[in-house]
Amino acid sequence: MNLLRSSSATLWTALVLFQAPTSHAQAPASPPAQVLHAGQPMAGWQWRVTDFEGERLLDAPAITVPKPAQPRVPASVVQARRSGKDAADDAITLQFKDSWIAQLRLEPVKAATLDLREALRQGTLEFDLNIRELAQAGLKFKLGCGPDCERKVPYLALGRAAAGTGWRHVSLSLACFDRDGSDFSRVGLPFALEATGTGELAIANLRIVPQGQANTACPDYRTESVTPTPLMESWSMEWWLPRHEKKLAEIRAHREAGREVQVVFIGDSITQGWENEGRAAFERHFARYNAVALGFGGDHTENVLWRLQHGEIDGMAPKVAVLMIGTNNTGDRQEDPATTVAGIRRLIEEIAQRQPATRVLLLAIYPREEKPGVLRALNERINTQLAGLADQRRVFFLNLNRQLMQADGRLSADVMPDWLHLSEKGYDIVARSLTPTLEKLLQP
């Protein structure tokens, strides 16, 4: 299977070109590029190198990101150094090993922003890139889009194809980072490189070109949530498709043994957690229904859609499908809630097409972040719209979020240890809260 071909990618290019008249009048000069880094960062800006659990300024020829006294990922190492492309130290090399997330971020020394509005229409983010190793790593590029707003463009497949081939020029349309509501008048992060896993790469000659020509594709955010595709992350490539095959085999085994699967849970890592931290609660409350948990860590709506279209709810006739998805659309992309809801609506349609007798119990996306913040607010906006998808005949909506939060709206570490995923106690709360509604929907 060609994963590149299955992904939704649109090449954004500057299509408006100036044509000089036939007279001797000369074409106006293109606006100058905004140089972000040429041997050193632009005045008033600096490079920050981060690991999942630490960070450090690139304030020496070579640095290693420090770790806390009791690291959660003790094996990870993130290092950066000044290196050379056209001159001795005009590039920056980032090395990372077993890293959950390593970043190279261009940030202001003091509170400052760039106004990129004039460059947004035809502008490009351009830099030279040398990927030395990416076989066990992932790569994304990020740009700020206003206060509390960052957008990413994935580069995993292209990056792995470029590994070991030397320097290449990358040009991304600024439109790749634009969404409704973006504020490019106050960009506090004009560039960041985000990597995972183990790898090494270097960048040089970073700039914003007001009238540039893009040479690199980026997903179309307007259709990304509804375009079926496997999950393409460095940490998912080895297990995602094998897990899909394993789930097909699990469903087959139920069928061949004559066991009726009455309930299926569909979602992301929180649903997958029913097989781990939530196993005991799952056995107590749902095993009697021969329930199947179709949860895949990291999934977005489009990844679930791909799985449904490739057989994960075929070969059985569940009475109820419990669906919760969308927090990765928020966390990874800070997606417009309407776009995420469109993806969820598409999943409901796919379930109806394949299992017309199945009732869908649509769960509100659980709260995230210890206290209310940007990502939780996006999820709450999604939940408000999700309630409107319930017709009380085939689709039903249930919000369990109050049961997972404290009275003041904060999350507790004993329910959500990382402010996103449930603990054993958290799964028990969900199972007990969910059971009365589930039992009603299982009735004829």
**φ, ψ for residue 440 (rounded to 5)?**
-65, -40
Are 44 and 110 in contact by the 8 Å Cβ rule? The answer is yes
Q: Which CATH architecture has domain 3-219?
A: Sandwich (2.60)
pTM for this predicted structure:
0.83
Tokens of 282: 């799952």
In whole angstroms, what is the distance from residue 158 CA to residue 353 CA?
A: 35
Q: How far apart, in Å, are the Cα atoms of 270 and each of 246, 273, 274, 359, 431? A: 18, 5, 7, 21, 13
Q: Where in the chain is the domain with CATH 2.60.120.430?
A: 3-219
Q: Is 421 a catalytic residue?
A: yes
Six-digit token pair at 312?
Answer: 């994960």
Closest Cα to residue 289, out of 401, 398, 431?
Answer: 431
Under a CB-based contact definition with an 8 Å cutoff, are residues 185 and 143 in contact? Answer: no
d(CA 337, CA 165): 39
- Residues facing 136 on adjacent strands: 198
- Please pick, among 7, 300, 421, 423, the residue that the annotation labels catalytic: 421
Is 418 assigned a catalytic role?
yes
**For this structure, is 300 an active site residue?**
no
- The span from the CA of 377 to the CA of 44, in Å, is 32
Question: How many Cα atoms occupy the beta-carbon half-sphere of 72 within 13 Å?
Answer: 9
Q: Which part of the chain has CATH 3.40.50.1110? A: 225-441
331: its two tokens = 């966390």
Amino acid at 444: P
Each residue's pLDDT, cut to its tens digit, for the chain (444 residues) gives: 333 333 333 322 222 222 223 334 444 567 899 999 999 999 999 999 999 999 999 999 999 999 999 998 999 999 999 999 999 999 999 999 999 999 999 999 998 999 999 999 899 999 999 999 999 999 999 999 988 889 999 999 999 999 999 999 999 999 999 988 899 999 999 999 999 999 999 999 999 999 999 999 899 999 999 999 999 998 999 999 999 999 999 999 999 999 999 999 999 999 999 999 999 999 999 999 999 999 999 999 999 999 999 999 999 999 999 999 999 999 999 999 999 999 999 999 999 999 999 999 999 999 999 999 999 999 999 999 999 999 999 999 999 999 999 999 999 999 999 999 999 999 999 999 999 999 999 998
Tell me the CATH class for 225-441: alpha beta
Which residues lie across from 193 on neighbouring strands? Answer: 104, 141
Taking Cα atoms as reference points, which of 157, 124, 126, 139 lies closest to residue 201? 139
Instruction: Enter the tokens of residue 256.
Output: 């061949």
- 83 forms beta bridges with 91
Which residue among 269, 332, 412, 433 is the active-site one?
269
What DSSP designation does 287 have? G
The two tokens of residue 434 are 């969910």
